[in-house]
Amino acid sequence: MHIHILGICGTFMGGIAVLAKAAGHRVTGCDANVYPPMSTQLEAQGITLTEGFDPSQLSLNADMYVIGNVVSRGNPLMEAILNQGLPYISGPQWLAEHVLQGKWVLAVAGTHGKTTTASMLAWVLDYAGLAPGFLIGGVPENFAVSARLPQTPRQDPHSQSPFFVIEADEYDTAFFDKRSKFVHYRPRTAVLNNLEFDHADIFDDLNAIEKQFHHLVRTVPAQGLVVANQQSSLDRVLDRGCWSRVERIDSSADWQVRDVDDQGRFDVYFGGERQGNVSWSLLGAHNRSNALAVIAAARHVGVAPCIAIEALVAFKNVKRRMEVKGIVRDITVYDDFAHHPTAIATTVAGLRAKVGAARILAVLEPRSNTMKLGVMKDALPQSLVDADQVFCYAANLGWDAQAALAPMHARASTFEHLDALVSAVAQHAQPGDHILVMSNGGFGGVHQRLLQALDA
C-alpha cells in the first residue's frame, strides 16, 4: 500500500511513517516545515518528502492519505482530497488498525512524563528480552530511534513480540475526530502518571480532560491493569467507573519509594515488601514516580521487579530531558522539554537538588499553545522559584511576560529578540553556573548560540 502522510514531520506522525515503512508500505509525506533533523531521519528511511500542501501531490496516486492533527479545513491538499472523495484516515486510527491490532498495548498517559516513562518501559521490556515495538514522542538514548515494530524476543526466536509500548497523548486526533488520540489504542496495560489542566486550545477545563481519560480507562479490559498515581484528579477519573485491576504508585497500599539518599538512589517497595534498590543518575521525585509506574506495568507482562530495577539502572534517559548540550569555561548548558509550569518547577527543582548552591540561569520559551494563550502565566514565577536568574523569550506572546514575571523583580528579564537574550545570558554567566534552557520547540538553536557566545 502507498500511504501519503500529511503533517509528516511531527514526532508522532514521523514515527508512524517509520513504522509503516518497516511494515513494507510505500511511504511519502508532506509538511509545512520540512527541515532537519526529522527530514533527514525520514529521508534516510527512503521516505520522499514534499514541502507544503499543494494539491498537485494527488498525482502521487496514494492508496491512503494519513492525516496529522496539524491539518485543518482550508488546507489546500486536504480540500482536494475531500473534493475528490479520496480515502483518508487519522494517524492514531491507522496505527490502531495496522500496527496495534492483536498486540498487548502498554499505553503511558499523563500531563507530564509520558515520553520519559514510555522510554523507560520500552527499555525495561527490551532488557528483559521481550523485544517490544514502541512509538514515543522523543528519542530514547537506549534505542536512538523514536519508533520501531515489535522484534524477535529472546525467549522465542521464531515469533514476533506481542508487546507494543506507546506514548498515549490526550491531544485531539484530527480535525474530523476530536477524541483524544489515546482512545484509539485500546491498551491492556494503562499507566496514568498524573493529570493537570493543559491544552487550553482544545479543552475548556480540567473536567473536560478527565472525561477523555475516563474514555481511555473504559477501553482497558477486565484482565488488564491500570497503574495510577495517587492524585485527586485521577481519583475522580477512576471514580467514574473502572473495570480493571488498579495498582497505585506512591501509595502505602501498593508501590512505594523509600529511603532516598542524597545521590537520588532509592528502594522500591510493593505491598510492604522491598523489591530492590534503583541506583541511577536521573533527578527528581517525578522520575522516581515514573520508575514505580514502569516497574508495575512491566510486572503485569511478566517482568520481575528485580529485573525491571536492573534495567532502570542502565536507563540513559531521553534526548531533551536535562540533556547536557555542552560545557564552556565550566558553564554547563542543558536542554529540557519542560513547558508547563508544573514541569518547569519539577525540572528546576531537580537541577537544584543536583547542583546544590551553584547558580541556575533559567532560559525559557513559553511556546506551547497553552502558554501562548497566557492561561498559566500567573504560575510562572512560582515555577521558577529555584532559579537564580530567569531569561524569558517573549516574542509572539499574546500576553505581557514582563508583567507576569514582575513578582521575581530583578531576577527575571524578558526579551523580544533572541540575539539580545543570548547576549544577556552570556554576559551574566560565570564559571560554575548551570544554564537550563526550557522549550518544547527548537528555540532558534539557542543552545548552540549560547555555547558559541560563552566561548567567545
Tell me if 174 is assigned to some domain: yes
Distance in Å from the first CA to the final CA of the chain: 53
| Any domain includes 363 | yes
Domain boundary among 293, 313, 333: 313
Distances (CA, A) of 95 to 66, 239, 285: 10, 30, 33
Peptide bond preceding 37 in cis form (omega within 30 of 0): yes
Indicate whether 295 and 357 sit together in one domain: no
Q: Percent of the chain, pLDDT > 70?
A: 97
Q: Looking at the structure, tell me whether residues 125 and 37 fall in a common domain.
A: no
Phi first, then psi, for residue 426 (nearest 5°) are -65, -40
Kindly state the average pLDDT of the residues 303-327.
Answer: 86
Q: Is residue 96 part of a domain?
A: no
Does the structure show a pLDDT above 90 at 421?
Answer: yes
Specify the CATH number for the domain of residue 8.
Answer: 3.40.50.720
Same domain? 194 vs 288: yes
| 374 in any annotated domain | yes
Last residue of a domain, one of 60, 90, 120: 90
| pLDDT mean across residues, the chain | 89
pLDDT at 318: 66
CATH of the domain at 232: 3.40.1190.10
Mean pLDDT within 285-311: 94
Provide the whole-model pTM.
Answer: 0.78
Has residue 225 been placed in a domain?
A: yes
Q: How many domains does the chain have?
A: 3
Q: Tell whether 284 and 364 lie within a shared domain.
A: no
Nearest one of 396, 402, 334 to 369, comparing CA atoms: 396
Instruction: State how far the Cα of 95 lies from the Cα of 186, in Å rounded to an integer.
Output: 11
Residues 12 and 151 in one domain: no
pLDDT tier, 36 (very low <50, low <70, confident <90, very high otherwise): low
Q: Does one domain contain both 47 and 121?
A: no
Same domain, 301 and 352: no
Q: Is residue 95 part of a domain?
A: no
CA distance 243 to 63: 39
Question: Are 160 and 213 part of one and the same domain?
Answer: yes
Are residue 44 and residue 188 in the same domain, yes or no?
no
- How many of the other CB atoms lie within 10 Å of CB of 200? 17
318 is a domain residue: no
What domain range is 47 assigned to?
A: 2-90
Residues 129 and 234 in one domain: yes
Residue 391 within any structural domain of the chain? yes
- Do 29 and 110 fall into the same domain? no
Decide which of 90, 116, 136 is a domain's last residue: 90
Of 403 and 277, more confident: 277
| Stronger pLDDT, 137 or 13, i.e. the higher one | 13
At 331, which CATH number?
Answer: 3.90.190.20
Residues 280, 219 share a domain: yes
